[in-house]
Chain A
Amino acid sequence: MSGAPRRQYTNPVIRWIEYRLPIFSTVEATIGADMPTPKNLNYWWSFGGLLTLALVIQIVTGIVLAMHYIAHGSMAFDSVEHIMRNVNSGWLIRYVHANGASLFFLAVYVHIARGMYYGSYKYPREILWMLGVVIFLIMMATAFMGYVLPWGQMSFWAATVITNLFSAIPVIGEEITTWLWGGFSVDSPTLTRFYSLHYLLPFAIFGVTILHIWALHVHGPNNPTGIDVKGPQDTIPYKPYYTSKYLSVFSAFMMVLAVLVFFEPNYLGHPDNYKPADPLQTPAHIVPEWYFLPFYAILRAIPDKLLGVIAMFGSILVWFILPWLDTSRVRSGRYRPLFKQFFWLLVIDFLVLMWCGAQPAEGPALIVARIATAYYFLHFIVILPLVGWFERPKPLPESISTSVLGSGAAAPKAAE
């Protein structure tokens, strides 16, 4: 069914439109077709769809919040409390939006880690992977600017710390910072432009997501064995198999979101953000939201400001060249005994950095942060290329279907 160049539609309305604007066949050919999917995808593959759901939740709640929020230095904090107290179900919508952002990041980290473990970034999916990195970068910008909008103490000081990073740029740094602020410090003009961009960027994410899904549909998803689909015996239709498999994941995700929203809505937030922004009073510890902590730790681990900024951005930009840093021709970590160990070391390293980011940058925590930062870059730039050369991969299964039907040790879960 899929892959046919021009499908004949039976519905007369669709035929009428299709004849004039071939939108249905175009959507089907790029992102909408029921593609033959490897039959061994496990639950880690559900996080892509889950992220789309998370994006939709953020956009829908965000649009409603925007109807009541006022982006002005003297009114923003009050307008958020107005939403919490006077707008019908305003508290619910705001708590879903705030906690939804956290779960969005949790899901994106799992999604990225899955891609790294199973080598999903390798030929021929490099562009698919790089588009994903672009989405992640826009997500970070969006989340950061969204966190500024309530105009609490942490909002204000996070904005101050992050925008000040640009002053590290030689020669024109100060000018750029002033230009970003729209003044000589973080103030109402900064808030207003952050609001404008916070509304704009999710739609940029949406657009790049369409490209991401389009690239996905060209060669189909990778799979836990990392070997290519060799024929129809290796695939099953996405509908209804994977739709049914992943529905329970989506629903479980909503349940986690509900537990946070209804029972611990402020658990992931910081109490200081319930104090109105005060430019004259710096909080004792300025900490970002949990999902930025690893990168914040990298920033502070380096004594030089400019190098710190470069390292922080570099820690994500290095993902762009990951397809070429990994020299192994075997995709899946399942058949790479040495790589597998280093993958988990990287996960631990990331968690250590996360912990470091929450501590004051001094004493043992700073030393740990420096070691973890060094290891982070070592992993990508040195270990990954070397492992590919020196490692002796385990024998790959003949095909996806033999791995599914085989001894059972390889992929017992996927065949259920």
Chain B
Amino acid sequence: MSKLLRLLGGATLAAMIAWPVVAAEAIKPAAREWSFNGIFGTFDRAKAQRGYAVYKQVCASCHGVKYLAFRNLTAIGFTEAEAKALAAEAQITDGPNEEGEMFQRPGRPSDRLPMPYANDAAARAANGGALPPDLSLITKAREHGPDYVYALLTSYSDAPRGMTLPAGMTYNKAFAGNQIAMPAPLTEGQVEYIDGTKATVAQMAEDVVVFLHWAAEPNLEARHRLGFQAVLFLLALTVLFWFVKQRVWGDQH
């Protein structure tokens, strides 16, 4: 019976590991190499800055990143002057002033990035009833987030023959159900990169994913840095404690 038990236990463990926790509805996106993966992972500053350009010129017309302020942008390599200039391009509603009126003023670094719509109802009204989600946490709010967002942005194509799409829907094979309310957002050359990088759809998708993952997890680099030190310290401490134990128990042999 003991052998049978061991077999059973092994089979259970193997099944638990091999089986996905919840049967995924959508196809698992292809795993990509990201600079932020791994225990020493960091954000590629050039990609993140280009990604900001993609966000601002393409995504921002429908999607907000409500937890980001302009001052945060210095973390992906913009200088303070650049962050200030980027903020000043935005018009922010402030107020009320002494007359009790709301007024418009140029943005400051402490301002959050402007939202595309005044409220959810306005966002739905402008998008045929669909609500474009806020992108601040998008890479953490989806399974395999960065890979998924990349796959989504690069998987638009014509619907297979025989498939009719409802009005306002677009075919996307990375999206659950293959019908998505967001029309293909990226087209070749759509964004003019100031560093001269060629703006292919794949390039823009990759850049914007780096930017969005930074937006979702801005402390990733600090976390990795501190983590390496903490784990190394605790490893040494564990070994030292083990020697202490050997020493203390020495007289019990």
Report A's interface with B, CB cutoff 8 A.
39, 81, 84-85, 91-92, 95, 236, 240-241, 244-245, 247-248, 250-252, 254-255, 258-259, 261-263, 265-266, 271-272, 274-275, 284-285, 287, 341, 344-345, 347-348, 351-352, 354-355, 358-360, 415-416
Contact = CB atoms under 8 A, between A and B. Distances in A.
A19 B77 CA distance: 65
A352 B10 CA distance: 12
Given A84-B219, A258-B227, A262-B224, A358 B248 contact: no
Interface in B1-49: 1-2, 5, 8-9, 12-13, 15-16, 19, 21-23, 25, 39
B23 A248 contact: no
Contact of B16 (A245, A341, A355): A355
Given A92-B223, A92-B226, A39 B252 contact: yes
A248 B244 CA distance: 9
Contacts of B94: none
B8 A354 contact: no
A352 B231 contact: no
A274 B137 contact: yes
B245 A248 contact: yes
A358 B21 contact: yes
B231 A262 contact: yes
Nearest to A153: B141
Interface stretch (B158-166, B201-209, B234-242): B234-242
11 contacts: A248-B239, A248-B241, A248-B242, A250-B241, A254-B234, A261-B227, A262-B223, A265-B223, A275-B141, A358-B21, A358-B22
Contacts of A39: 252
A258 B234 contact: yes
Nearest to A358: B21
A241 B39 CA distance: 36
B192 interface: no
A167 B67 CA distance: 38
A284 B177 CA distance: 13
Contacts of A351: 12-13, 16
Top-8 shortest CB links A-B: A262-B227, A248-B241, A274-B141, A255-B234, A244-B248, A247-B241, A251-B238, A274-B140
Nearest to B143: A271
B163 to A, nearest CB: 22
A257 to B, nearest CB: 9
A254 to B, nearest CB: 5
A247 B245 contact: yes
Contacts, number: 118
Contacts of A355: 12, 15-16, 19
Nearest to B68: A85
Interface string B209-232: 000000010110001101110110
Given A271-B145, A275-B141, A416 B16 contact: no
A244 B22 contact: no
Contact of B22 (A84, A95, A359): A359
B226 A262 contact: yes
A377 B8 CA distance: 19
* Size category, B interface: 35 or more
Nearest to A260: B227
Contacts of A252: 234, 238
A150 B73 CA distance: 26
Contacts of A348: 5, 8-9, 12
B172 interface: no
A271 B140 contact: yes
A344 B223 contact: no
Given A262-B226, A348-B8, A247 B25 contact: no
Given A262-B226, A348-B9, A236 B252 contact: yes
Contact of A263 (B19, B39, B145, B244): B39
B235 A263 contact: no
Contacts of B247: 244
B140 to A, nearest CB: 4
A288 B35 CA distance: 32
B40 to A, nearest CB: 10
A252 B249 CA distance: 19
Contacts of B8: 345, 348
B249 A285 contact: no
B154 interface: no
Interface in B67-120: 67
A247 B244 contact: yes
B240 to A, nearest CB: 8
A270 B68 CA distance: 23
B124 interface: no
B5 to A, nearest CB: 5
A248 B237 CA distance: 8
B198 interface: no
B208 to A, nearest CB: 18
B238 A255 contact: yes
Contacts of B19: 355
Contacts of A266: 140
Given A81-B137, A244-B244, 16 more contacts: A39-B252, A244-B249, A247-B244, A248-B245, A262-B226, A262-B230, A262-B231, A274-B216, A287-B22, A341-B5, A345-B5, A348-B5, A355-B19, A359-B23, A360-B23, A415-B252
B132 to A, nearest CB: 14
B235 A255 contact: yes
